[in-house]
Structures are given as C-alpha cells and as structure tokens.
Amino acid sequence: MQQSTLVTAVIALTAAACSGQRPAGADSSMPQNNSVSAACSPLETRTAEAASQKPAMSGQTRACGVTSETAYDVTVLSKGLVHPWAVEPLPNGDLLVTERPGRLRIVSAAGVLGEPITGLPAMDARGQGGLLDVALSPTFATDNSIYWSFSEPRTGGNATSVARGVLSADRRSVSAVRVIYQAKPIYDGDMHFGSRLAFGPDGMLYVTLGERSDTPMRPQAQQLASDMGKILRLKSDGGIPEDNPFVDSVGASRAIWTRGHRNVQAAAFDANGRLWEVEQGTRGGDELNLVQKGKNYGWPLQAYGIEYSGAMPISSPAGVSATTLPGVEQPVYYWDPVIAPSGMQWYTGDAFPAWKGNLFIGGMKNRLLVRLVLRDGRVNGEEHMLADRKQRVRDVRQGADGFLYIVTDEDNGELWKVSPKK
C-alpha cells in the first residue's frame, strides 16, 4: 500500500531528528520539528530489475534518502593490499586485515603494513575463495586467540572451514592452529563460501555460509542435512550448543541456527544483542534480515529479484520462487537494484554522536558505503557515502576509538580510517 505524502514526510523527518540528518531534498533552513513541509524522496530512483514485484510491507525497500550533517575525514592508512576481505581492530589501535589470496597482516595504527603472518593452513584461493573473515576471541585480552574462516581444499573440492590460533607476542605468527569446524558437503566450486564470523553476547560463535551459487546447489539452503546456505552457531571450541534448534532432528546438521540463505556477506550484533545479517541477491533482492533461532529465510523458495540471465522469477526446487510464502521470514529491507553488500557495523561509538544506532554496510556494486537509519526495527532512511572514491567497500568495522575502518576489495586495495573532521 502506498504511503501518503504526509506519512512519508513524517518518516523522513523522524529519521532526521533521531540521527542528525535531513531528508534528501529538504531546505537546509527547514526546522527539524516541521513534520509536513517537505516530502520524502526515496534514495533509489533507478528502475527495479523486478519492477512487477511488490514489497510485502510498507518501507521494505526504497527508503527515504537522508543526508548526514556529520563532518568527517577519510585517511588512507594503507595501499597495495590484494583483495582485502576483512578488517578487525585490535585493542591497541592496530588492525588485522585478511587478503583473499591467503595472507593475514597487521596494519599499525600509524599505517605501517606488516609482513604476512605465518602459520595459517592451506587454502583454496580461487574465485571468491581464500582467506575470508577474521575475529578476535572474546578472551583475546588474556589468550591472544583469533578465529578465521577460509575456503579449505578437501578431497573432491572445497568448503568453508573455521580455524582458531594464538597470535604470537610479536604478532608475526599464529600457533596452536586448529580447524574447529568444517562445513559440509564438499563441492568443487569457487563461489559463495560466505563467510562472516560474529561472537554473540552468549559467547557463541555465529558463522555464515553461502549455498555455493550453482543452480544444482541451491536446494541445499533448505536442506537440514547440509551446512550450505545456513547460519551456524558453535561453541568457541567448535562444539555444538545443546540449545541449537535442530540438535534433536534426525539427519540434521546440529550446528544450524537458521536456514534459507543465499550468500551472507555480513553479520553483526546490535546494541540490544540481536544478530542481523545482509546477504547478496541475484539481480535485485539483496536482503537485510533480523536473525532469529530456527527461522527459515526462504532462499531459493522465496526471493525478490530475477535471475542473472534476466529470467523471472528465480528458479527454485518448487519450479519458481515467490516473494511471500507461509512460514518463511520476510527481509526487513531489500535492495533492487542491488548494492552487492559486504561487511556491516552497528555504530555504537562516541566519535560520531549523530550516527549512534545507525547501520553501516559495504556496497561493492556501486562502490560506496551505505548508512541506514532504523527506528523500531524498520529502515526509514538511507544514505550512500564515499562514492566519490570509486572503490568496492568489502568490510567496515568500528574501532575502540569510535572511528570506522574500511577495506576495499580491489587488486590494489586500501584500508581507510573515517574519523571526525579536524
């Protein structure tokens, strides 16, 4: 159902009031409490790939455009990185950075690029595979443990694995390396490995996995015997928590937390301890989801967008996909055309007070950083930032200083620091 101009304006101005920005198209002198003098203009104005598809609820796509009034500087801390995939701030201000070909490095707070850290296991660095995410253990301060995900070569193909190791005092190597989880089944492909790692307030490790992209693999996103197209929940040693939703289901992978995902490239917990994820769609249909225990997120039975070939709708085990199905979760928000999301951060710092509570998401398709303003669990404002730099934003993380740190997925990738303007 279409929102009226009045309601749209109220939503736009509510977004502005709660996060320090005005709706796009609003006069800069307009009072913040004027709820009817300016109408909302959606940020996305391009024709949708699936123009005949309609959102299941108001505000699910094409949110009001908002413009930040927060002044900031972007400092290039490092160049010459080869397809960096993840950045993880360390407590002392240095940063761990993964490069997809299989290198883990430290970039100092001053921007000095370290040599590759030794001790990592072999990786199948083809296509979208290689070294992927990296995360500090919740007990890093006492044991220097880190976790990483990677595409592991196995007999007959490869699959995503998660490993744990101890970072040496001089930060040049990892020791006591152990692969704590090997996703199954094995598949000889080079796409849709996932994979983000996020420790929850419960101390558990949440791991996102893609469904490996190829059409014959799609049905596995719905199959409980497969880890593909799932979010997993593990103990810190790789064990299975007894309260996982499918631990007593015969034949199911006991690690599964949720199913029906395509290629989850971002996962982060908000200030209330809720897990959110963003996954890539086909042509249209990138999704933002609130992750809830045992839920089904639809892929490939339910999806927005069309096939890469231009065929519509999307092929699924049922023949074609639908945009709404009983018992299947709807995305909180979706993009059509896509942004190709990767990496996300709920902002909780003090360096940018106006951004507190906003969600930042990397955008690789249009080479930008997306800022979402949410209210009561719904998106009511969207801004595209850093587009002038024309680089694929692969990951964004918040440091202890409250600054944002970003890596760009290029042959000559960069590490950026976003800090308040001096």
Cβ proximity of 106 and 114 under 8 Å: yes
At 34, list the tokens: 């004027």
Q: Among the options 83, 192, 261, 384, which is catalytic?
A: 192
Three-point CA angle 374, 93, 79, nearest 5°:
85
List the one residue out of 264, 259, 169, 276 whose CA is nearest residue 221.
Answer: 259
Q: Is 192 a catalytic residue?
A: yes
Bridge pairing between strands 378-385 and 197-199: unpaired
- In this structure, the number of other CB atoms found within 10 A of the CB of residue 390 comes to 11
Sheet containing strand 275-279, strands side by side: 264-269, 275-279, 286-290, 333-335
How far apart, in Å, are the Cα atoms of 95 and each of 92, 161, 343? 9, 23, 16
Q: 110-129: string of b/e by CB count within 10 Å (b at 16+)?
A: eeeebeebeebbebbbeebb
Q: Name the 3-class secondary structure at 85.
A: strand
Q: Residue 336 class from Cβ within 10 Å (0-12 exposed, 13-18 middle, 19+ buried)? A: buried
Q: 202-239: string of b/e by CB count within 10 Å (b at 16+)?
A: eebbbbbbbbbbeeebbbbbbbbebbbbbbbbbebebe
- In this structure, the number of other CB atoms found within 10 A of the CB of residue 354 comes to 14
Written as one letter, the residue type at 29 is S
List the one residue out of 421, 422, 418, 414 whose CA is nearest residue 107.
Answer: 414
Looking at the annotation, which residues are catalytic?
192
